[in-house]
Amino acid sequence: MTLLSHYNYWVVILLMMVGFYTMISRGNLIKKMVGLNVFQTSVFMLYISMGKIRGGTAPILMDAHGESSETAHVLYSNPLPHVLILTAIVVGIATTAVGLALIVRIKETYGSIEEDEINQIEAEGAA
């Protein structure tokens, strides 16, 4: 039953591609960054979907020094994808911050944040 068991991946992929498309097709630099954000967030969902266990629960143990007998019957979701994605989210925001700082500087020096206008200005400068 590929269709049913994978539909959520496909939704995620669709969202991912919306972000990716925005990123590479739009000339507006802000839109590119938004696209990057959407793209990355969707990748996070892909990871988290992988970690999900049906009927599982958040990987926070019921008892601090939980006995194994107690943890055995509770089904926890896989914590590793969560950890990876926490890192990835932070990396994502870091990239966004740098990208936006660049956009601000580009606006200040070129007076535009449209890629084709910038290209035109650069071509004139080179000529």
Partner 1 sequence: MRIRNLFAVVMMAGIYSLLSAGLFTIMDAVDVAFTEAAVGAGISTVLFLGALALVGHHERKPGHTPLLPLIVVLVTGGALVYGTMDMPPYGDPGNPVHHHVADHYLEESPHEIGIPNIVTAVLASYRGYDTMGETTVVFTAAVAVMLLLARRPRRPEEEEDEA
Partner 2 sequence: MREQVIVRVGAKVLVPFIILFGLYVHFHGDYSPGGGFQAGVILAAAFVLYGLVYGLDAVQRVLPPAFVQACAALGVMVFAGVGVLTMFLGGNFLGYGVLAHDPEHGQHYGIIGVEAGVVITVFGVMVSIFYLFAGRGRRSG
Partner 3 sequence: MSEHYVILLVLVPLLASPLCIFSRNARAAWGFAVLACLTSLYLVFQVWAEVMATGPITYHIGDWAPPVGIEYRVDAVNAWVLLIVAVIGSVVAPYARVSVEREVEAGRIPLFYAAFLLCFTGLLGITVTGDVFNVFVFLEVSSLSAYGLIALGQDRRALTSAFRYLIMGSVGATFIVIGIGLMYVMTGSLNMADLAQLLPQVWDTRTIKVAYGFLAVGVFLKLALFPLHLWLPNAYTFAPSAVTAFIAATATKVAVYMLLRFFFTVFGAPFSFDVMRLDMVLLPLALVAIVTMSLVAIFQVNVKRLLAYSSVAQIGYMILGISFASVTGLTAALLHLFNHALMKGALFMCMGCVMYRIGSVHIDAMAGLGKRMPLTMAAFVVAGLSLVGVPLTVGFISKWYLILGALERGWWPVAILVLITSLMALVYVWRVVEVAYFQEFPHDEDTQEAPWALLIPMWALVLANVWFGIDARTTVASAEQAAQTLMGGAP
The residues binding partner 2 (CB under 8 A) are 58, 60, 64, 86, 90, 97, 100-101, 104, 108
- 120 scored as a contact of partner 1 (CB under 8 A): no
Contact 40, 19 (CB under 8 A): yes
CA angle 75, 78, 79 (to 5 degrees): 120
- Rg of the chain taking only CA atoms, in angstroms: 21
Partners of 114 in the beta sheet? 28
Least distance between partner 2 and beta carbon 56 (Å): 16
User: What residue ranges bind partner 3 (CB under 8 A)?
Assistant: 20, 23-24, 29, 32, 36, 39-40, 43, 46-47, 50, 80-81, 84, 87-88, 91, 94-95, 98-99, 102-103, 105-106, 109-110, 118, 122, 125
Least distance between partner 2 and beta carbon 69 (Å): 19
Least distance between partner 3 and beta carbon 51 (Å): 9
Long-range contacts of 52-56 (CB under 8 A, 24+ apart): 52/77, 52/78, 53/77, 53/78
Contact 51, 81 (CB under 8 A): yes
Per-residue mark of binding to partner 1, 37-56 (x: CB under 8 A)? xx--xx-xx--xxxxxxxxx
Nearer to partner 3, 75 or 80 (CB): 80
